Structure 1
């Protein structure tokens, strides 16, 4: 795993997080945020896939890409529901637990037993509908490239959110979920849309170009997306209508910020 861990020291340089809470006229900031959002509901969809191709190593979702958006939205008063294809505990990429990958958001998660318990009990994706939510968010990690990109329930859910004018957000490898999503006319959901996602350069840096089932950058371009990026590991997020995408782990909070602004 040395090849992957080496890249983690670069990623951590760009991660950040923070929060502050106070009381005003006996109404907490969190309560005021809830009023401002009218308790908007966001569905988080995580991968259930844990095998890193044929390498014998493990993957899953990246903790930072879950924790930073989760706490940003939660602290603003949004109600969050967690789901995955299989339900239950989604696999955590072991490399996202490495010291070099830690951020204030992941450290908060490590101390947050309540959220850990919720994560261990994710709902089965097939049981959920867009009718009960205002937006959907996909954290990354390599896992989604194997299961969520091909999952019929996920594909249908994204298309339904989009059809009903509800935001769809994804970060890092998670924009891979747009591989098969379509508009009503049969065109790719990302065709003509400004998008970003994990770059070919970043995939090469972690030496998994020949392991992953497809490269996110190449797929988005092939599907007609107007793909853009910044230098490797730099925070970068793009919003185009209902689609909000982020380039890498350092972009997870930016994606959540754009989603929160959109919903508010």
Structure 2
């Protein structure tokens, strides 16, 4: 299997019918992407509908050097953010891992999405790694293990905590709470202190709690790829 990784990002630009912008939390894709690049691992970006990826304005308010490096890169903006692949464009056999990046936008277009699940399930069935961070873990909802059961049922998982959503003051703005959804789907959920790195590896499933965990998720994925 060639070592290439598929990064999944949202197309959704607002909180439902509220006049509040959202989208991809940029650091969650680029901190992961940077680790892959450092190990000469190619990545492609896929979104539920393909094409343009809106960025959560909050994720541009306080960017670190890695995020600026990608945001300043015209090729990154024009290729990875403006022209994501649609699921129909993707051959799952090309990828050794799939990674669901977050941002509140994903709460509307990731969960139980049959097009995303078709790609992700095929990567899993090919022996690939499934990874996700922050709100992106809701992309795991509706994915299946090789025996057809819910992928995260009985698995140790992390994801954006109810405490962190409360700190955001967005508990009532989201359609559901990420932590609650993981537990409802049978995930063995754990969390660390709010906004501190927390990465959980269970077999070939890697999950991270928050934006601070994106690099750690990437490091864990590389370790599995090299095993």
Shorter-chain TM-score above 0.5: yes
Question: How far apart in 1 are the matches of 2:142 and 2:32?
Answer: 25
The equivalent position to 1:167 in structure 2, one of 129, 138, 142, is 129
The equivalent position to 2:90 in structure 1, one of 128, 132, 140, is 128
The equivalent position to 1:139 in structure 2, one of 82, 96, 101, is 101
Structure 1 segment 22-61 matched on structure 2, within 5 A = 40-61=3-24
Following superposition, the deviation at residue 126 of structure 1 comes to: 2.2
* Aligned residues of 2:8 and 2:47 also touching (Cα < 8 A): yes
Q: Secondary structure at the match of 1:159?
A: helix
Question: How far apart in 2 are the matches of 1:250 and 1:239?
Answer: 16
- Which residue of structure 2 aligns with residue 75 of structure 1? 38
Q: Secondary structure at the match of 2:109?
A: coil
Question: How far apart in 1 are the matches of 2:35 and 2:148?
Answer: 35
1:114 aligns with 2:89: no
Following superposition, the deviation at residue 55 of structure 1 comes to: 2.1
Structure 1 segment 11-22 matched on structure 2, within 5 A = none
Q: What is the alpha-carbon root mean square deviation over aligned residues? A: 1.4
Q: Secondary structure at the match of 2:201?
A: strand
- Which residue of structure 2 aligns with residue 102 of structure 1? 63
Question: How far apart in 2 are the matches of 1:140 and 1:233?
Answer: 14
Taking structure 2 as the reference length, what is the TM-score of the superposition?
Answer: 0.94
Taking structure 1 as the reference length, what is the TM-score of the superposition?
Answer: 0.82
Following superposition, the deviation at residue 48 of structure 1 comes to: 0.7
1:208 aligns with 2:170: yes
* Aligned residues of 1:67 and 1:106 also touching (Cα < 8 A): yes
Ranges in structure 2 where 5+ consecutive residues have no aligned partner: none
Following superposition, the deviation at residue 219 of structure 1 comes to: 0.9
Question: How far apart in 2 are the matches of 1:261 and 1:232?
Answer: 26
- Which residue of structure 2 aligns with residue 189 of structure 1? 151
- Which residue of structure 2 aligns with residue 245 of structure 1? 207
* Aligned residues of 1:39 and 1:78 also touching (Cα < 8 A): no
Question: How far apart in 2 are the matches of 1:126 and 1:204?
Answer: 37
Kindly report structure 1 stretches of 4+ aligned residues shifted beyond 4 Å: none
Larger Rg belongs to: 1
Number of residue equivalences? 225
Question: How far apart in 2 are the matches of 1:237 and 1:109?
Answer: 23
Following superposition, the deviation at residue 53 of structure 1 comes to: 2.2
Ranges in structure 1 where 5+ consecutive residues have no aligned partner: 1-37
* Aligned residues of 2:70 and 2:76 also touching (Cα < 8 A): yes
Following superposition, the deviation at residue 183 of structure 1 comes to: 2.9
